[in-house]
Structure 1
Amino acid sequence: MTTIKLQTYIKAPAEDVFNLSRNIDFHILSAKNTNEKAIAGKAFGLIGLNETVTWKGKHFGQHLTHQSKITLFKFPTHFTDEMIKGNFRLFKHQHFFNTSSNITEMIDILDYQTPYGILGKIFDRFILKKYLTNFLVTRNRSIKSHLESKRQGRKVLQHKV
């Protein structure tokens, strides 16, 4: 199993970071490079406990689908999404949010396993881990930029709880 752990510091309340992190519409905007779309389940707005979403996006030159379910949810401190169907043997993404002095530490812990035995492990070691890390870093930068711009009075995407 491979684990990716990221920490991102955002000048915004945990509630705002939590909600934007589970906003389907914002995910589509932040993942525009992979042309991701929600094609089944929760297709827009805020995803919550026991809800599913099926994503379709272009990765490694192929259109891939990934269905996940929110399996743990405690507003505004953490939630977990886990793959139900997709191209991994296991895919579990934990999101944690801690606020101190109006700065939220957003922690991502992504655990996954590749299929295809030794070939999957080689692909993971040399390509996939870096690819997934960059995907998450890009998404986290989008969340940070969006929320910190909001604090400066710029027009932003509206989201409801």
Structure 2
Amino acid sequence: MTTINLTTKIKAPKQIVFDAARNIDIHQQSTSPSKEKAIDGVTSGLINLNETVTWRGKHFGFYLTHKSRITTMKLHDYFVDEMEKGKFKSFRHEHLFEEKNGVTIMKDKLHYETPFGIFGELFDILFLEKHLTNFLLERNKILKVVSEKTNKVFAE
């Protein structure tokens, strides 16, 4: 199992960041390099506890689908999405939010396993972990911009 841990500091209240992180439209905006689109389940707006979304995007030259469900949620503190259907053996993404002095510390903990035994492990080491890390970094960059812009509008 591989785990990716990222921390992003955002100058906005955690309510704004939390909602941005579970907003399907913002996610699609942040994944433009892979042309990821929500094609089933919740396809726009905010996703909530026990709801699903199926994504279709181009990764490594192939269009892939990935269905996930929000399995755990405590408003404004954390939520977890877990794969129901897709190419991974397992996939669990924890999103955690903590606010200190007007800054939200957003943490991503992505745990996944690849199929295909040693070949999957090798693919992970050579390509996949870096790809997923960059995917999350780009997503978090957009979340930061959108959240800070939204906070600025509300502050005016």
TM-score range, shorter chain: over 0.9
> In structure 2, what is the equivalent of residue 49 of structure 1?
49
> In structure 2, what is the equivalent of residue 37 of structure 1?
37
2:148 partner amino acid: E
Q: What's the Cα RMSD here?
A: 1.1
Asked if residue 88 in structure 1 is aligned to residue 88 in structure 2, the reply is: yes
Q: How many angstroms apart in 2 are the aligned matches of 1:151 and 1:46?
A: 18
Summarize deviations over 1:93-113 as a string: whole Å, max 9, x none: 000000010000000000000
Shift of residue 149, structure 1, vs aligned partner? 2.7
Q: How many angstroms apart in 2 are the aligned matches of 1:152 and 1:82?
A: 32
2:111 partner amino acid: D
Where does structure 1 lack aligned partners over 5 or more consecutive residues? 155-161
Shift of residue 42, structure 1, vs aligned partner? 0.6
**TM-score normalized by structure 1?**
0.93
Asked if residue 97 in structure 1 is aligned to residue 92 in structure 2, the reply is: no
Aligned residues: 154
Q: How many angstroms apart in 2 are the aligned matches of 1:141 and 1:63?
A: 24
Partner-residue secondary structure (3-state), 2:45 = coil
> In structure 1, what is the equivalent of residue 7 of structure 2?
7
> In structure 2, what is the equivalent of residue 76 of structure 1?
76
Shift of residue 146, structure 1, vs aligned partner? 1.6
Q: Percent identity?
A: 51
Q: How many angstroms apart in 1 are the aligned matches of 2:152 and 2:36?
A: 29
Where does structure 2 lack aligned partners over 5 or more consecutive residues? none
Asked if residue 119 in structure 1 is aligned to residue 119 in structure 2, the reply is: yes
Shift of residue 32, structure 1, vs aligned partner? 0.8
Summarize deviations over 1:40-69 as a string: whole Å, max 9, x none: 111111000000000000000000000000
Q: How does 1:14-29 map to 2 (within 5 A)?
A: 14-29=14-29
Summarize deviations over 1:107-155 as a string: whole Å, max 9, x none: 000000000100000000111000000000000011111222334449x
Q: How many angstroms apart in 2 are the aligned matches of 1:119 and 1:49?
A: 35
